[in-house]
Structure 1
Amino acid sequence: MRLNSRLLLVGVLVFIFPLLFVWITQNFFTTAYHNINTSEKKRVSLIQDSISVALRSSSEADKLVSDLIDVYKKENSDLTKIRVVEKIDDNFVIIQSADKQLVNTNEKTDQLYRSLPLSSNGSSLIVESIIDGERTWQVFRSVETLDDRSMYIFSEHRFGLIDSVMAARRQQSYFGLSAIFVFLILLAYWLNRQVHWKAGYDKMVLQLEDRDMFSNMIAHEFRSPLTAIKGYASFLEESKTLSKDEVRFASNIHKSAERLVVLVNDFLEVARLQSGKLKIEPSEVDMSDVLAGVTDDLRGMAEEKGLKLIFNRPEKKLMMFTDPARMIQVMTNIITNAIKYTDSGSVELECVKIPGEVTVRVKDTGTGISAEDQQKLFAPFTRVGGVDTSKITGTGLGMWITRQ
């Protein structure tokens, strides 16, 4: 169903819309040409009407017709020829013309004049043709004057300029339609890709949700028996009836269970972070108290390695607005890493406040981190420091969780 809807949308965008635009444009130009023709015919008819009326006037007809011809020739760029022809005996003589050299000469092409009946209904004969590549109208009208003279009005109109303008407009329109067609193809492609990406994204989100739910379930299922194993191992370590080897075995079980608990807790944190379900409850806390508490908790771990864990507590309180539980978790991860990667010497903490922020510095006497390794410090499942990581416990998730 979705595929059919997508194909229908693409078909509408790529085929229906362009065809609709072409049809609308074609109809527009057809109507425009029709209206232009109608308007031109009315204009030509008005020119011949006015000359016809002037010819029928009894006084100063020649001067009036001459003036009209001069005005029309000047004001109408399409008017190439205009003349008045009179039938005298069997000849057709030009008595008025825009070209004054033709006055009182015989009309060379008189066949049409001979075929025109004298009529008083004021109609004109329009002969449409192509002359020198231009659309041309040759317009004839017969006029019978009040003194029974047989007159003919002839005008020639060439519409090359108008047609070239309309052709340019048509070409521009089709260029525009081509651009719209290309745009619609690109739009259809983009929409199709968006739908495809959206489907892939939705599928990936569902897979991630299933993965997170599975990880949570597995982690919770592991944590309960591991807690019980830790408890029983601790109980066996304190037993007075076991041999030294058995106590050592119980101690190994206890340590392994603790490492697994840390691993499970890290996986739970990752799952909560990736699903956006990690709760943050900020409040006013004194960073000095946070660091003092973390230092006390980790001092035993440092002493097991023969390290000094030092916290240079400032005299003033360093208040900040944060989640105390998450801050303890962050500082625990950082200081634990410092202890793990320091074989001898000390790990020293200090905390200072500068305008707008609190800076915590952790200094140790370990091997240090190269510039290359610093780029990977917060990557998940990554160990840095240039030491034998097989001797260092952990999941490689602590610093990634800290950064998140």
Structure 2
Amino acid sequence: MISFVLHALERGLQVMRNNSRLLLVGVLLFVFPLLFIWVTQNFSETAYNNIDSSEKKRVSILHDSLSFTLSVSKNPDELMPVLIDGYIKENSDISKIRVVTKRDNQFEIVYASNRDLIGTTEKTDQLYRTLPLDSSEGSYIFESIIDDVRTWQVFRGVNVDDTKYYIFSEHKFGVIDGLMASRLQQSYYGLTAIFFFLISLAYWLNKQTEWQKNTRKLAVQLEERDMFSNMIAHEFRSPLTAIKGYASFLEESKTMQKEELRFAGNIKKSADRLVTLVNDFLEVARLQSGKLTIDKKEVEINAVLQSVVDDLQVMAVEKNLQLTFIEPKSKILVNTDSSRMIQVMTNIISNAIKYTDSGKVEIECQKIPGELTIIVKDTGMGISAEDQQKLFAPFIRVGGVDSTSTTGTGLGMWITRQLVELLNGKIGVESIKGVGTHVVISFRI
């Protein structure tokens, strides 16, 4: 049994070491409320003790003043009623004040807050008979509960010129106790609110721990998936490159028939499409993992754009399109990665050619102080306002075209946007459905 308990404790400590937030949750749920209760109780007890001490001093002063007036005053019949009325008026807790003297073995009331009682005798006189008459002994306080109210009945004996006097006052602390009870109740209401807040906070911390655990698990799974995808993509690219090469050899063969050459051409085109797909996936993987490197240096942007236009002229001619680069009057030098800039412009211009059936595609380069703007204009089918919102989303093709008739992965514009942002640029689109599209790229220079 002991070994089982020790093993359970060891496992519990191990869990708490591995999940430090559980310890925080335990502190929040148990230590803080218990500490709050302890502090509240101590504060309440201290407050009651201070009030009790203060009230005893006040009662003692009351009896001292009445005793002194009886002992010293030459005309107590005038001063005593004034003193008694003043104390009753200024102290809401004093309910009764009486001064009693012993005459003919009875205790007669000579001064009282209730004038109707003056001249009458006390009905219960047992306490008066047992009290000493030495005022140096101070006042005697008898605590009791009367009508559910904490009450003090205070007595003091005074001997003046062989006349025995007894000073009696009654103090009810219902107001003070009610106020303290109200404050204590408010404290516990506050504690309840804090406790519910701590429960909510503990629940949130527990959930956050679960979320972090799941996030770490998902991160590992995503990393494994990316590694697997990269491996598959690399493994695909090598045989696809070989297939593409063999298809090119077959196309150049002089012994093959026309139909066979057509088959070889189809094989090469399909291999090209698959190589493009694999390259796009690898590019996405590098972008998402942050492993894509940018090598910036001073580049003449005119030459870069002219090179891209020259490479894509064949594609434009096949569709009977006019592809034009409106070269600026002066050379423009930009600090950028030339290979990534070529990749960006190739994606954008080839897209413009792909989605333009007739007309032209123009590339314009403008330089203003601090900014370079490249605009690719086409007279194609245009892009609707709705499609413009998702133009740069992955695996999305816009323009209302049939996905079976237009090749591509739908990753080109997403990759383009990521590359532009890595080059500290911005990309946007202006288009009217059925009129054409302007793709605008701007870089700080």
Same fold (TM over 0.5): yes
Q: What does residue range 209-228 of structure 1 map to in structure 2 within 5 Å?
A: 209-228=223-242
Higher alpha-carbon deviation: 160-169 or 65-74: 65-74
In the alignment, which of 149, 153, 156 is matched to residue 163 of structure 2?
149
* TM-fit CA distance, 1:176: 1.2
TM-score normalised to the size of structure 1? 0.88
* Structure 2 residue 151 is the aligned partner of structure 1 residue 136: yes
Q: What does residue range 189-338 of structure 1 map to in structure 2 within 5 Å?
A: 189-338=203-352
* TM-fit CA distance, 1:298: 0.9
TM-score normalised to the size of structure 2? 0.81
In the alignment, which of 94, 98, 104 is matched to residue 83 of structure 1?
98
* TM-fit CA distance, 1:263: 0.8
- Name the CA shift for 1:366/1:4 in 2 (closer, same or farther; >3 Å): closer
Letter in 2 for 1:224: S
* TM-fit CA distance, 1:143: 2.3
Tell me the secondary structure at the aligned position of residue 410 of structure 2. coil
What are the ranges of 5 or more consecutive residues in structure 2 without an aligned counterpart? 1-14, 419-445
- Name the CA shift for 1:109/1:316 in 2 (closer, same or farther; >3 Å): farther
Aligned length, in residue pairs:
402
Letter in 2 for 1:235: F
Aligned identity (percent) is 64
Structure 1, residues 365-387: CA drift from partner, whole Å, max 9, x if none?
A: 32222233223322222222223
Work out the CA distance in 2 between the residues paired with 1:241 and 1:293. 36
Higher alpha-carbon deviation: 14-23 or 213-222: 14-23
Work out the CA distance in 1 between the residues paired with 2:332 and 2:202. 58
Is contact 1:118-1:150 (8 Å) kept? no
In the alignment, which of 43, 46, 51 is matched to residue 58 of structure 2?
43
Tell me the secondary structure at the aligned position of residue 45 of structure 1. helix
Work out the CA distance in 1 between the residues paired with 2:19 and 2:390. 47
Work out the CA distance in 1 between the residues paired with 2:88 and 2:202. 55
* Structure 2 residue 44 is the aligned partner of structure 1 residue 32: no
- 1:125 maps to which residue? 140
Is contact 2:69-2:76 (8 Å) kept? yes
Letter in 2 for 1:326: R
What are the ranges of 5 or more consecutive residues in structure 1 without an aligned counterpart? none
Work out the CA distance in 2 between the residues paired with 1:378 and 1:308. 26
Tell me the secondary structure at the aligned position of residue 404 of structure 2. helix
Work out the CA distance in 2 between the residues paired with 1:58 and 1:34. 35
- 2:191 maps to which residue? 177
- Name the CA shift for 1:228/1:163 in 2 (closer, same or farther; >3 Å): same
- Name the CA shift for 1:50/1:369 in 2 (closer, same or farther; >3 Å): same
Tell me the secondary structure at the aligned position of residue 108 of structure 2. strand
Work out the CA distance in 1 between the residues paired with 2:322 and 2:19. 71
* TM-fit CA distance, 1:341: 1.6
* TM-fit CA distance, 1:251: 2.7
Work out the CA distance in 1 between the residues paired with 2:130 and 2:332. 112
Is contact 1:219-1:264 (8 Å) kept? yes
Tell me the secondary structure at the aligned position of residue 137 of structure 2. coil
Letter in 2 for 1:87: K
* TM-fit CA distance, 1:45: 2.5
Structure 1, residues 234-289: CA drift from partner, whole Å, max 9, x if none?
A: 23333344444443333333222222211111001111111122222334434333
* TM-fit CA distance, 1:332: 0.9
In the alignment, which of 16, 36, 39 is matched to residue 21 of structure 1?
36
Tell me the secondary structure at the aligned position of residue 343 of structure 1. coil
Is contact 1:81-1:156 (8 Å) kept? yes
Structure 1, residues 331-367: CA drift from partner, whole Å, max 9, x if none?
A: 1111111111223332222222345533322222322
Work out the CA distance in 1 between the residues paired with 2:317 and 2:368. 32
Higher alpha-carbon deviation: 198-207 or 79-88: 79-88
Higher alpha-carbon deviation: 200-209 or 341-350: 341-350
- 2:421 maps to which residue? none
* Structure 2 residue 110 is the aligned partner of structure 1 residue 95: yes
* Structure 2 residue 359 is the aligned partner of structure 1 residue 348: no
Letter in 2 for 1:313: E
- 1:388 maps to which residue? 402
- 2:436 maps to which residue? none
Work out the CA distance in 2 between the residues paired with 1:60 and 1:282. 110
Work out the CA distance in 2 between the residues paired with 1:298 and 1:109. 123
* TM-fit CA distance, 1:136: 2.0
Is contact 2:296-2:338 (8 Å) kept? yes
